[in-house]
């Protein structure tokens, strides 16, 4: 580069001949860049930044809770003084006439748009682990997560099912939406009992009287890493309350009911053993989930003051997990402990067992004969006086057994949408197809039962937990759309949730849903697209390829909180998006 004279006054220094001068010579001034070169460098840097932002990665803010708790919009956070469990709740209060939540929630007075005082009530929420009520005023509102989005470069890679995608809202292309992609181009999509089913579409399929009976349907199974992120906590014994008895009345009892209470130590454990279950007997032992007091529903603590539909449907896609520590065997005894986890639903028992060094997955019609689906081998039987973590998954018509986070057996069963719904509701598909509201009544669905069986005691259980999968709800179109105008499909089954509303996509269309299914305005419920978008694609309930922006892949600035009035990012929640 060429140097130029500067205006700085300096003491003249004799210079060596040019041939002898080295840029690295101590005491010799470096040549200085010109203003022109500096400006050029800045322009190039900005150009590269804009190109990078325009074609590779862009940052976005999550404003709402339609993807909660996977991605957080504006929300409040609570921590139970009884269990120590932390969770998020959507805003209760907004400035009148806006979608902007007030910075403090509960017990705050302010003036509405007409200058009239408006008093907020206290915020009352319940600990999801114990039901303990918490009442607060002036709860700080946090803003949503900030994320990086990798833009789709179709010459390199295409969207995949279960990607979290950002796109232009077909109803209002000036607004960006974020949802999970569940339907791909050129297929039919059905949401059945909370799961996603798909099949390759053929010409004329969209006109079929009952598309769910057509051949070629299969359930869409989530990748294991995505499934781990999508599990929703139902209960975990590690979060049992410190004081389950108050004023002489027991307000909390574990949802796990022992078969022989005299041989179990579950309630009123010392502080260091809270949530640890001891079995002191030597025969068979069992724990059963109390589904009457603790129904397993598609309920989100985030939606506690929601718009309705929260916890409307039973969920049978479940994960049971616990750590087991067998006691040292008595003299002359084998001491081998066996474990069986059984989920009963859809007219069948689904079971995972660990016995000796063998893991087995099996299923049967209730009261019928067991069919072994898969077996696996452990390094050794469950070791005495050491905790072994066991997980049994029943999700997306698939069974998995994991030991210490390592998969040891996996199997699947393949039912069509028609078979699935008939086993869930006990009614033929033809009858259901004629009843438009049959699938939106939660009581029509079978409720699951869970049981844990053990032999070879005594033993201790740690962190006995139950989680459920995301459940894509069946819905009806609202009477009014998002613009508060009459919905063109009011009262009809929402897209993808009924045989008569099965989605059929063309080669450039995608179908998307929100993880917070009860409160997500997604492709199931949209009305006709904006007239500008209709020039690209007039279809309702789909996202055209031209509207896709990219795949969300990293939360780089999690919802900040204030410390001494200064916003502080929750760096511990930085994470990749699955």
pLDDT at 421: 95
Q: How confident is the model at residue 40 (pLDDT cuts 50, 70, 90)?
A: low
Q: How far apart are CA 34 and CA 4, in angstroms?
A: 6
Q: Is the pLDDT of residue 26 over 70?
A: no
Name all domains of the chain by residue range, CATH numbers in brackets.
63-144+558-576 (no CATH), 232-468 (2.60.120.200)
Q: Is the pLDDT of residue 168 over 80?
A: yes
Tens of pLDDT, residue by residue over 66-107, are 999 999 999 999 999 999 999 999 999 998 888 889 989 998
Tens of pLDDT, residue by residue over 112-138, are 667 777 788 999 999 999 999 999 999
Percentage, residues of the chain above pLDDT 70: 88
Q: How confident is the model at residue 3 (pLDDT cuts 50, 70, 90)?
A: very low
Which of 219-234 are b and which e, b meaning 16 or more Cβ less than 10 Å from the residue's Cβ? bbbbeeebbebbbbbb
Tell me the average pLDDT across 4-13: 35
pLDDT at 332: 43
pLDDT at 25: 37
Q: Residue 344 to residues 208, 449, 461: CA-CA distances in angstroms?
A: 33, 5, 22
pLDDT at 513: 98
pLDDT at 54: 57
Q: How confident is the model at residue 436 (pLDDT cuts 50, 70, 90)?
A: confident
pLDDT at 386: 92
pLDDT at 425: 93
pLDDT at 31: 52
pLDDT at 348: 98
Tell me the average pLDDT across 216-242: 96
Q: Is the pLDDT of residue 9 over 70?
A: no
Tens of pLDDT, residue by residue over 477-535, are 999 998 889 999 999 999 999 999 999 999 999 999 999 999 999 999 999 999 999 99
DSSP per-residue letters across 215-235: TT-EE-PPPHHHHHHH-EEEE
H helix or E strand, kind and range, residue 38: helix 35-55
pLDDT at 568: 77
Mean pLDDT of the chain: 88
Q: How far apart are CA 55 and CA 73, in angstroms?
A: 25
Q: Is the pLDDT of residue 167 over 90?
A: yes
pLDDT at 385: 85
Q: How confident is the model at residue 247 (pLDDT cuts 50, 70, 90)?
A: confident
Tens of pLDDT, residue by residue over 276-332, are 999 999 889 999 999 999 999 999 999 998 767 899 999 999 999 999 999 976 544
pLDDT at 38: 62
Q: Find out whether the peptide bond into 277 is cis, omega within 30 degrees of 0.
A: no
Q: Are 310 and 519 in contact (CB under 8 A)?
A: yes
Q: Is the pLDDT of residue 8 over 50?
A: no
pLDDT at 17: 39
pLDDT at 248: 87
* CA atoms 210, 215, 216, 217: torsion sign: positive
Tell me the average pLDDT across 54-72: 89
pLDDT at 171: 95
Q: Look at residues 458, 462, 324, 339 and name the one whose alpha carbon lies nearest to residue 388.
A: 324
Q: Look at residues 181, 186, 198, 86 and name the one whose alpha carbon lies nearest to residue 142.
A: 86
Percentage, residues of the chain above pLDDT 90: 71
pLDDT at 46: 57
Q: Is the pLDDT of residue 361 over 60?
A: yes
Which of 447-470 are b and which e, b meaning 16 or more Cβ less than 10 Å from the residue's Cβ? bbbbbbbbbbbbbbbbbbbbbbbb
* SS3 letters across 136-181: ECCEECECCCEEEEEECCCCCCCCCCCCEEEEEECCEEEEEEEEEE
Q: Which is more confident, 26 or 138? A: 138
Q: How far apart are CA 323 and CA 433, in angstroms?
A: 44
pTM of the predicted structure, to 2 decimals? 0.88
Q: What are phi and psi of 221, to 5 degrees?
A: -95, 130
DSSP per-residue letters across 411-455: EE----HHHHHHHHHSS-HHHHHH-TTGGG-GGGSPPPEEEEEEE
Tell me the average pLDDT across 160-182: 96
**459 three-state secondary structure:** strand
Tens of pLDDT, residue by residue over 332-352, are 445 578 999 999 999 999 999
pLDDT at 18: 38
Tens of pLDDT, residue by residue over 550-570, are 999 999 999 877 777 777 778
Q: Is the pLDDT of residue 48 over 80?
A: no
């Amino acid at each position: 580069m060429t140097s130029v004279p500067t205006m700085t006054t300096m003491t003249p220094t004799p210079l060596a001949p040019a041939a002898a001068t080295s840029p690295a010579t101590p005491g010799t001034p470096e040549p200085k860049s010109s203003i022109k070169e500096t400006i050029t460098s800045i322009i190039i840097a900005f150009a590269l930044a804009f190109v990078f932002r325009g074609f590779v990665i862009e940052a976005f803010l999550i404003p709402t809770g339609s993807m909660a708790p996977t991605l957080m919009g504006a929300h409040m956070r609570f921590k139970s003084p009884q269990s120590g469990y932390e969770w998020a709740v959507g805003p209760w209060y907004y400035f009148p006439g806006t979608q902007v939540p007030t910075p403090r929630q509960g017990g705050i007075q302010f003036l509405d748009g007409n200058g009239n005082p408006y008093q907020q009530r206290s915020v009352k929420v319940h600990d999801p682990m114990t039901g303990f009520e918490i009442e607060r005023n002036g709860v700080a509102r946090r803003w949503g997560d900030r994320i990086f989005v990798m833009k789709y470069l179709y010459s390199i890679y295409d969207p995949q099912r279960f990607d979290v995608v950002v796109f232009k809202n077909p109803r209002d292309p000036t607004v960006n939406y974020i949802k999970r992609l569940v339907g791909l181009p050129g297929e039919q999509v059905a949401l059945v009992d909370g799961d996603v089913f798909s099949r390759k579409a053929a010409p004329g399929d969209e006109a079929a009287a009952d598309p769910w009976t057509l051949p070629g349907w299969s359930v869409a199974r989530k990748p294991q890493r995505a499934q781990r992120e999508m599990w929703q906590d139902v209960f975990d014994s590690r979060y049992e309350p410190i004081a389950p008895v108050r004023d002489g009345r027991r307000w909390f009892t574990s949802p796990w009911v022992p078969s022989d209470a005299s041989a179990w130590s579950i309630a009123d454990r010392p502080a260091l053993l809270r949530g640890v279950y001891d079995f002191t007997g030597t025969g068979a032992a069992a724990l059963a989930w109390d589904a009457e007091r603790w129904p397993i529903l598609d309920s989100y603590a985030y939606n506690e003051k929601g718009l309705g539909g929260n916890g409307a449907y039973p969920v049978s896609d479940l994960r049971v997990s616990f750590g087991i520590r067998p006691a040292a065997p008595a003299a002359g005894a084998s001491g081998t402990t066996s474990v069986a986890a059984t989920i009963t639903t859809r007219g069948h028992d689904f079971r995972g067992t660990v016995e000796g060094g063998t893991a087995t997955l099996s299923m049967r019609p209730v009261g019928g004969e067991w069919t072994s689906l898969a077996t696996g081998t452990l390094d050794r039987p469950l070791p005495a006086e050491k905790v072994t973590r066991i997980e049994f998954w029943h999700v997306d018509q698939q069974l998995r057994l994991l030991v210490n986070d390592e998969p040891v057996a996996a199997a699947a069963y393949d039912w069509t949408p028609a078979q699935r719904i008939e086993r869930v509701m006990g009614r033929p598909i033809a009858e259901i197809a004629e009843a438009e509201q049959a699938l939106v009544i939660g009581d029509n669905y079978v409720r699951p039962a869970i049981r844990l069986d053990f032999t070879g005691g005594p033993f201790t259980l740690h962190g006995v937990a139950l989680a459920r999968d995301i459940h894509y709800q069946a819905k009806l179109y609202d009477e009014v759309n998002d613009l508060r105008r009459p919905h063109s499909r009011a009262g009809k089954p929402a897209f993808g949730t009924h045989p008569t509303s099965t989605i059929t996509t063309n080669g450039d269309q995608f179908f998307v849903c929100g993880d917070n299914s009860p409160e997500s305005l997604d492709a199931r419920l949209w009305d006709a697209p904006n007239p500008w978008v209709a020039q690209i694609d007039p279809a309702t309930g789909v996202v055209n390829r031209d509207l896709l922006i990219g795949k969300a892949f990293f939360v780089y600035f999690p919802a900040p909180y204030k410390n001494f009035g200064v916003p502080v990012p929750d760096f511990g929640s930085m994470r990749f998006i699955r």
